[in-house]
Structure 1
Amino acid sequence: MTVNSALLNVDKPLSDEFKQIWAGVDEECQFHFPNEPPPWLNEELYDRGIKFVNDNLVGVGMSNGEALVSGLCIPSFYKALTFSGETNVKKNALYRYRDTGLHIFGKWYFSKPWVENSEAAKSFKIVNKMHSHIANKIRDVRDDFDNILESKYEDPGKQMLLDVLQNDLKKLREAVGPMPNEYFYFVNNSLVFTQFDMFLVQSSFFGGPLLYPEWYGCARATESEMEGFIHVWRVFGYYLGIDDKYNAAQFDVHTTRKLGFECLERVVKPCCLQIHTQSVFLAQKVFRVPSDYYIWLYRNYHMMGLELKELWRNFSWKQTYYYYVRFCFGYYVYPIFGLKQLFNRMTRKLIHVVVDRVKSKIKKE
C-alpha cells in the first residue's frame, strides 16, 4: 500500500537539504543568544528584506496569524502550550499571542539584533529565556510529560462542526494511506524543543508569503525582495538560538521554497490530518466567536491542497461570506496599488499605538 501522491507528494527521495534539516530532530535547542553577529550577515540584504516587510506588512501579518492555526495542529507545539498553561484561558491566550506579535512587528522588524542593547537584541533575549524556561521545565519531567498533559487537556465541548471536521479528516487519512516515516518519527520523538521544532517555528513566520504569495498579496514580489525577506529570517533564526546547519533560511529562494513544500508534505500536512481536540480547544481561544476557527482552518487546508468538503457544505451563509471576504481581500483588494500602501500605513500606526500603550502600562507597574 502506497501513499496517495495526489494528497501527499512524498514519492521522491529526500532532498539533501531536507536530510540536513531533519537531523535537527535528534538535537535539542539550547536557546543561546550569540555574542557575535553571524559571519554571513549582509546588512544591505537585511535592509532589503525589512523594506519588503514594510511594503507587505498586512500580508505578512495575515500569514503569521493563519500559520498559528495550522501550527497548533503540530503535537510539539500544542503540547508545550498546554503544559505552560499560558493559552488555556482566552484572555491569557490573546495576551500571549499579542506579545509575540509585538516582539516581531514592534521590535524585530524595527531594530537590529546585532546592535548591542537594541530593542531587537533585548527582545530576542527575553524570547530565548522564555523558550528555555518552558523547555527545561518539560525536560525535567520528561518521563511523566504525557501523564501531566493528560491531566491538563481540556474538552472543547460538543460541536457539530468538530464532528464534521473529524469525519472529513478520517476520509482524507483513508485516501492518503500510510503516513510518511518522518511523520511517525517526529510525533513519537521524546526530545523537547528540538532544532527541527525551532525550524518549524521559524519557517511559519516567513513561509506563507514564500510558498503562497498570491494568498497574501505578495504575488508581485521579486526574487530579490524574497531573498532579502529570507535573509531577515535567517538572522532572526540565528538569534533565536537555531544552529546554522538547521536554519530554515540558509538557502537560496528556489531551494528554500522547495524545502518548504517538502517539509509540508512529510511533516506538517500529516499532522494536519490528525488534529487532537486540545489543538481545537487552544485555537478557538484566539477567536471572539469560537466557530470562526473552522473558517480559518478550512482556508489553510484548502491552500495546502487538503479539501474539507463536508465542512464547507456545513458552513452557515455567514461563515461562507467571511471566507470569501478574506479570500477576495488577500487575492484582489490588498494588492491594488494605493490601497496596499494605505492598509500598510494603517497597520503600522496601529502597531505603534499598541506598542506605546504596552510600554506605558509597564512603566506604571
Structure 2
Amino acid sequence: MEPKQLEPGKPRGKCRKWLLRVSTGLNPRTGKYGEKTKTFSGTYREAKAALAEFEQEVENQSSNAPGRKLTFEQLAEEYVPHRLNMKQIEESTANKIEGLLDALSRHIGKMPAGKLEPYMIQNAVKAMLSGDSASGKPLSGTYVNMVLQTASTMYNLYAIPQGLAFRNPFENVERPRVDTEEREPLTREQQENLIKACTPTDRHHAAVMLALLAGLRRSECAKLQWKNVNLIDGILMLPDTKAHNRKLTAIPVQEALVVYLLARKEEQARQMKKYGVIQGDEHTVCANELGDPLDPKVLGRWWQRNRKKLGCEGVHFHDLRHTFATESAKILPPKVIQQLLRQKDERVSMRIYTHVNTDDLEEAVAKLNAK
C-alpha cells in the first residue's frame, strides 16, 4: 500500500499530511479483510518509511501472523502469559520460568528468536558460569541446565508451532555438569524432634507438618483449604500436576497428620473467634487469626530464620518433602510414590527409590562382610 494524501489539492511533493493503512488480513470470525490506520505528518519519503515501520508494528502485534519476527526477549515475554492463559501452569511456576529466561535474556535477549545459533547460546552459558549474572555471582551448572531446558521447552512448545522459529537452537548446545550436591533427608531423630516441636497454635508449624508428613510443596502447604481436607477419612484433595486441567486428586495421609490437623483446626477456630472471625471451609489450614492466608515466600523466610532452633540447621524447606519421599520409598513401590508426590516425571520417584534401596543393599552386604 501507498501512503494516502490527506491534502488532495496539493502535489505529492508538497503534501505533508498522510493516511497510513495496513492490512490485518482475513478475519476468521467475520470472513472480511481488516486494516489498521493512522495519520502521519511529513514528506512523502518520510511517510513511506513510516508506513514500513507501521507494517512491521502491526505484523508483530498479530498473534496469528505467520513469520513474526520477535527477539528472544520478546518471545519469552509472550510465552509465559500464553501458558498462564491456557491454564497450563500456575502463577508460581510462571514466576520461576520468567526468572530462568531472564537469566538468558541478559545475554541473547536482543537476538531475533528465529536466528539464534547454538554458538551464541554456548557463549551465554560460559558467561553465566563465569559470573555474568544479575547477582554478579557465577551460576551453578545445575541452574544453567534448568535455564537451557526451560528455553528449549519454549521453542518446542511455542516458538516452532507458532512459526516464530523453524528449529530449536538449544538442542545441540553442550550442557554444563550438574554440580549441586544431592540433598539429604532428615535423620530419624531430626524428624521426631521436629514433630514434637510443632504445635497446632502456630500456622508455620502446620505447614511444616504438611510438608514432612504428606510431602506437600511449600506453595501447597500455604494454599491448602479446609474444604480440601477430609479429617474423617484422612484424605487431602491436592492438585494433580500430571493433569493439564489441574484437577484435584485424593491423597490419603498418615494418622499422625490427621491427629495434628484435628488439633490445628480446633485451635485455629478458637483463635479466630477472639477476633470475630468464623472459621469456614474457604479458610486455609495455615491462615492466621484474622483468616489471612500464609504467603509461601513469608513461609520460606520464616523457615530460614527458625530452622536452626528446630534442629534443622542448613535444611531447606523442600527437604521436608524429600524426607517424606525417602521414608515412603522404604516401604512403597515407585509408582505409588509418584502418585503420593504427584510428580509428572516418574524418573524422580525411581531415583529416590533406587537411592534408598541401594543404601539398604550396601548395609546388608556390610553385615555379611562382618560375619
TM-score of the superposition, structure 1-length normalised? 0.23
Looking at both structures, which has the greater relative contact order when contacts are Cα pairs under 8 Å and sequence separation is at least 6? 1
Q: Looking at secondary structure, tell me which structure has more helix per residue.
A: 1
Q: Which is greater in Rg?
A: 2
TM-score of the superposition, structure 2-length normalised? 0.23
Q: Looking at secondary structure, tell me which structure has more strand per residue.
A: 2
